[in-house]
Amino acid sequence: MSTPRDLPPVDALAAQIDAPRAIAVAAARAVLAERRAELLSGAGEKADLAARAQRRVDDAARPRLRRVLNATGVIVHTNLGRAPLAAAARAAVARAAEGYSNLELDLADGARGSRHDHVEALLCELTGAEAAIAVNNCAGATLLAAAALAGPSRDVIVSRGQLVEIGGGFRVPDVIAQAGARLVEVGTTNRTRRADYVRAIAESTGAILRAHPSNFRQLGFVQEVEIEELCELGVPVIDDVGSGVLADELELLREEPAVRRSVRAGAALVCFSGDKLLGGPQAGLIVGSADAVAAARAHPLARALRLDKLGFAALEATLRLYGDPETARREIPVLAMLTVDEATLRDRAERLAAAVGGEVVAATAKVGGGALPLLELPGPAVALAGDAEDLAARLRAADPPVVGRIEDGRLLLDPRTLADDEIDLVARALA
C-alpha cells in the first residue's frame, strides 16, 4: 500500500479483527487514520494493518492498573504503589470485595455503626492512644487535624525548618491555609528553640504542628524542639510523623519518629501513613486524646476524606499482624525486605543471574517513599549485558511488567524487592 487510495475499507479491515464488531470498527478506523497520516508524510513501507489493529484491541482490553514486578531495590516505591500488602491483608480485601459487609453496621444490635470501629481498638492497643480514626491518606489526616484543632481564624505554629514540600506538591503552608487556619512561623530554617514557640503562643493559638521532613534531612548546625518539650507548652500539638513506624524495636528504623513516642509525650493528635513503613494500604491514621480525636471525627472534612471498605479490610489485617512483632517482621513485605539476610539475597541474585545470564554485582537499595532518605541497604543485584534503555523498555512491556534501575549504563535487577516466587517470573519475562 503506497498511497491512501490503496487502503482497505473500514468494514473489510474490521472483519479481520477478533473482537466485537463495535470495538473492531473503532480499531480499524483508528489504524486506517494512523496509516493514512504515515503515507501522506512519506512513510511508504509495507504495514500489516490487521495485525496492528489486533494489537490495539488487545492492548485496550488489558487492565490499565496491573501487577508490576519491582526489581528497582526501592522498597516503598511511590510510582509502583508503595507498600505491597501482606498475604493476610490481600485475603481480607478479597473477602470484603466479595459482597456486602458490615462496614457501618453493628451486628450485635443491628444499629448503625462506625467504620472506624474496625481499627480503633487495634490502633489504641498498638500505640497507647485513647482514640483513633482512619482517613484516606496522611496528607488528609494532617489537613483534618489542623482544621479540627485550629479551624477558621486561629493560629497554627510551625517551625520554619518544617515548612516542607513533599511528593506531589504537598506543602505544609498550603495545608494550614486549606484548613482555614493562620500560619505562624517560628525559628529559622535550620534552628528553632523552645523559646521561639513560647513567644509565639497567644490566645489565638489553636495548635502547634510538628511536621516530619520525610524525604530529606538537615545536617550540621541544626536544632529542633523534641516532641516532649512541645507537649509541655500547654497548647494542643499535632505531630505529623509521616511514615508510620510501629516496629520501633527495629534498629534500622531508629531515625524515623515512632508513633508510640509521640503518644506517650502527650500529643493531641498524631498523624501517620497506613502504607509506607507500616506496610498496609494507603491510609491516613490519626491517634491521640479522646477529645481531640472526637473533634476530628465530627469535622465535616472527615466524611470527605473517609477510607473505603477495602482500605479498612487491608488496614485491620495489617494491624493485627503487629500483635506479634516477629510475625509482623516475617509477614509484612516492607519489614521483611528491610530485614532480609545477606544469604537470602545472595541466593535470589544467583538464581536470577543463572536464569538470565546476568552478572551478580554489589549494589545499594533504598527505602523510598519519603522514609529514611539517608539509609543505604547494601546487597547483591544482577547486572544485564546490553543496551540498558532498550532492555528496560522491553521488560516494561512484558507480562507482568518488570521494572529495574539503570546505574552506570547497566540495567540492574535488585532481588531485595522481589519475592522468592517472583524470580522465575522475571526470568520468563527476560526470556
Question: Residue 353's domain is classified under what CATH number?
Answer: 3.90.1150.180
Verify that 182 and 314 share a domain, yes or no.
yes
List helix spans (H) across 277-401. 290-298, 301-304, 309-321, 325-331, 333-339, 342-356, 388-396
- Rounded distance between C-alpha atoms, residue 181 and residue 143, angstroms: 10
In this prediction, residue 46 carries a pLDDT of 78
- Rounded distance between C-alpha atoms, residue 294 and residue 288, angstroms: 10
To 5 degrees, how large is the angle CA 355–CA 361–CA 367? 100
Verify that 249 and 339 share a domain, yes or no.
no
- Please provide residue 220's backbone torsions phi and psi, each rounded to the nearest 5 degrees: 100, -125
Verify that 361 and 283 share a domain, yes or no.
no
Residue 64 lies in a domain: no
Domain count, the chain: 3
- Rounded distance between C-alpha atoms, residue 52 and residue 316, angstroms: 46
- Give the domain extent around 409: 69-80+334-430
Verify that 240 and 312 share a domain, yes or no.
yes
What are the CA-CA distances from residue 283 to residues 163, 173, 244, 268, 286 (Å)?
A: 22, 22, 10, 19, 10
pLDDT per residue of the chain (431 residues) written in tens, 0 to 9: 568 888 999 999 999 999 999 999 999 999 999 999 988 888 767 789 999 999 999 988 888 899 999 999 999 999 999 999 999 999 999 999 999 999 999 999 999 999 999 999 999 999 999 999 999 999 999 999 999 999 888 999 999 998 888 766 778 899 999 999 999 999 998 999 999 999 999 999 999 999 988 766 677 777 898 999 999 999 999 999 988 899 988 988 888 889 999 999 999 999 999 999 999 999 999 999 999 999 999 999 999 999 999 999 999 999 999 999 999 999 999 999 999 999 999 999 999 999 988 999 999 999 987 777 778 899 999 999 999 999 999 999 998 999 999 999 999 999 999 998 899 999 888 87
- Rounded distance between C-alpha atoms, residue 310 and residue 99, angstroms: 11
Verify that 294 and 373 share a domain, yes or no.
no
What are the CA-CA distances from residue 233 to residues 10, 40, 155, 226 (Å)?
A: 75, 74, 15, 12
Residue 215 lies in a domain: yes
Collect all residues with Cβ–Cβ distance below 8 Å to 275 and sequence separation of at least 6.
Answer: 76, 82, 83, 244, 281, 282, 283, 369
Residue 329 lies in a domain: no
Residue 233 lies in a domain: yes
Verify that 313 and 172 share a domain, yes or no.
yes
Verify that 227 and 114 share a domain, yes or no.
yes
How far is C-alpha 11 from the chain's CA centre?
46
What are the CA-CA distances from residue 55 to residues 19, 59, 65, 257, 423 (Å)?
A: 11, 6, 18, 50, 28
Verify that 168 and 222 share a domain, yes or no.
yes
Residue 297 lies in a domain: yes
Verify that 320 and 398 share a domain, yes or no.
no
Considering 324, 359, 388, which residue would you say is the last residue of a domain? 324
CATH code of the domain covering residue 224:
3.40.640.10
Residue 121 lies in a domain: yes
Verify that 314 and 420 share a domain, yes or no.
no
Biggest CA pair distance of the chain: 82
Residue 185 lies in a domain: yes
Verify that 50 and 101 share a domain, yes or no.
no
The position carrying cell 505544609 is: 172
Residue 288 lies in a domain: yes
The set of cell numbers assigned to 410 is 547497566
Verify that 19 and 167 share a domain, yes or no.
no
